[in-house]
Structure 1
Amino acid sequence: MDVMIYKKKIKQKFSIPSSQKISIYSLGDTDELAMSLGKLVIDGTKKASTSGYRLYESGPIPKKGDISIIIDNHHHPLCTIRNTAVKTVKFNDMTEDEVRKEGESDLSLASWKEDHRQFLTPYYQKYLGIDFTEDEMVVHEEFEVIDVYEKSKKTNKS
């Protein structure tokens, strides 16, 4: 199913006004990472995500209640999430509890920091022309899965 058809079905299923924006994006920057993180969201392991605050300079910061469709890197829908909490915090002030909710790696703060430094640094260099530091602000989103695309249910069981 085309992601735009899925988006239309989500708006109908949850009585979302046609004027309300639904973000569509993949988690991660490679096919493998997008599928891996998408599966963690679908199975309930990943309940949060963190992104660089400055990367939102050209668009709105996510907020509680926002609805997003998670896709793979081939633009196929995986699931739909709703933000249950959003906060802006210094990268260095992220807590063990917050990073555990991301469900990645060994769930430790140290590995989360290393993984996110490696992920965010090239984006900050490419799009902002600066190095990413631990003093940078990040946007931490906690979410719940409100719908799993039918094909993803079958794929995720393997």
Structure 2
Amino acid sequence: MSTLLKPATERFWKTYLEEEAPDPAKARSWLYEAFKIGTTEEGADDGALLISRGIKTTTSSLLWEYEAAYKPLPKIGSLSIVENGRDEPVCVVKTTQIETKPFRDVDLKFAYDYGEWDRTLKTWRQECWQFYSAQCVELGREASHTMPLVCERFRVIYPR
């Protein structure tokens, strides 16, 4: 996937390739995206911190978002750059698991590994229901307990 990176993120990525990537050419081809968690600067800062500390190791998105944007799903082995709320790169993560499942099938382990709020399934469902319901409105879809989520597990690979 061809990804346009902001200048600071591009420099960060090049440093990773030069210093850490076991096979830079292969790593280059596995770059999926640079992304932020949440919809606010504060949320992105919090998410980046949780990820960089290894507390947040899962994330989810509506499958319908990918479909609306004609965006392919990440694959196991995909590399992504996590940015904070000021578009500054924080770390590189590697996708270790990717699964599409209904909202209602997200389990306690996934919710705990999400690393946010109080890490309970009940709170994950409340917070994510509110978030995904708003996204469904924007996409012209109806929120339901069967709405498909792309559930991703990842680990930080840079910096170590």
Sequence identity, in percent? 26
**Aligned-partner Cα distance in 1 for 2:29–2:91:** 21
State the partner residue of 2:106.
Answer: 94
- Report deviation, 1:49: 0.6
Distance 2:137 2:128 in 1: 14
Shift of 1:27: 0.7
Equivalent of 1:146 in 145, 152, 157: 157
Supply the distance in 2 between the matched residues of 1:105 and 1:73 (Cα, whole angstroms). Answer: 18
Q: Secondary structure of 2:128's partner?
A: helix
Pairing partner for 2:75 from 56, 63, 87: 63
1:108 aligned onto 2:120: yes
- Give 2:64's match in structure 1, choosing from 54, 59, 77: 54
Determine helix, strand or coil for the equivalent of 1:135.
Answer: coil
TM-score, scaled to structure 2 = 0.85
Superposed, which structure 2 residues align to 1:24-39 within 5 Å?
Answer: 24-39=34-49
- AA partner of residue 74 (structure 1): R
TM-score normalised by L of structure 1:
0.87
Q: Is the 8 A contact 2:41 2:84 kept in 1?
A: yes
Q: For residue 136 of structure 1, what is the aligned residue in structure 2?
A: 147
**Are the counterparts in 1 of residues 30 and 77 from structure 2 also a CA contact under 8 Å?**
no
| 2:87 is aligned with 1:81 | no
Structure 2 gaps of 5+ residues are 1-6
Equivalent position of 2:24 in the other structure:
16
CA distance in 2, matches of 1:143, 1:130: 28
Number of corresponding residues: 148
2:5 pairs with 1:5: no
Amino acid at match of 1:42: S
RMSD: 1.6
Which amino acid in the other structure matches residue 137 of structure 1? P
SS at match of 1:23: strand
Q: In structure 2, what residue type is equivalent to 1:44? A: G
Which blocks of at least 5 consecutive residues in structure 1 are unaligned?
150-158
Deviation track 1:46-103 (CA, whole Å, cap 9, x = no partner) reads 1111111111111001111110000012211011100111111111011111111111
Question: How far, CA to CA, are the matches of 2:43 and 2:106 in structure 1?
Answer: 22
Counterpart CA distance in 2 for 1:141 and 1:55 is 15
Deviation at 1:107, TM superposition (A): 1.1
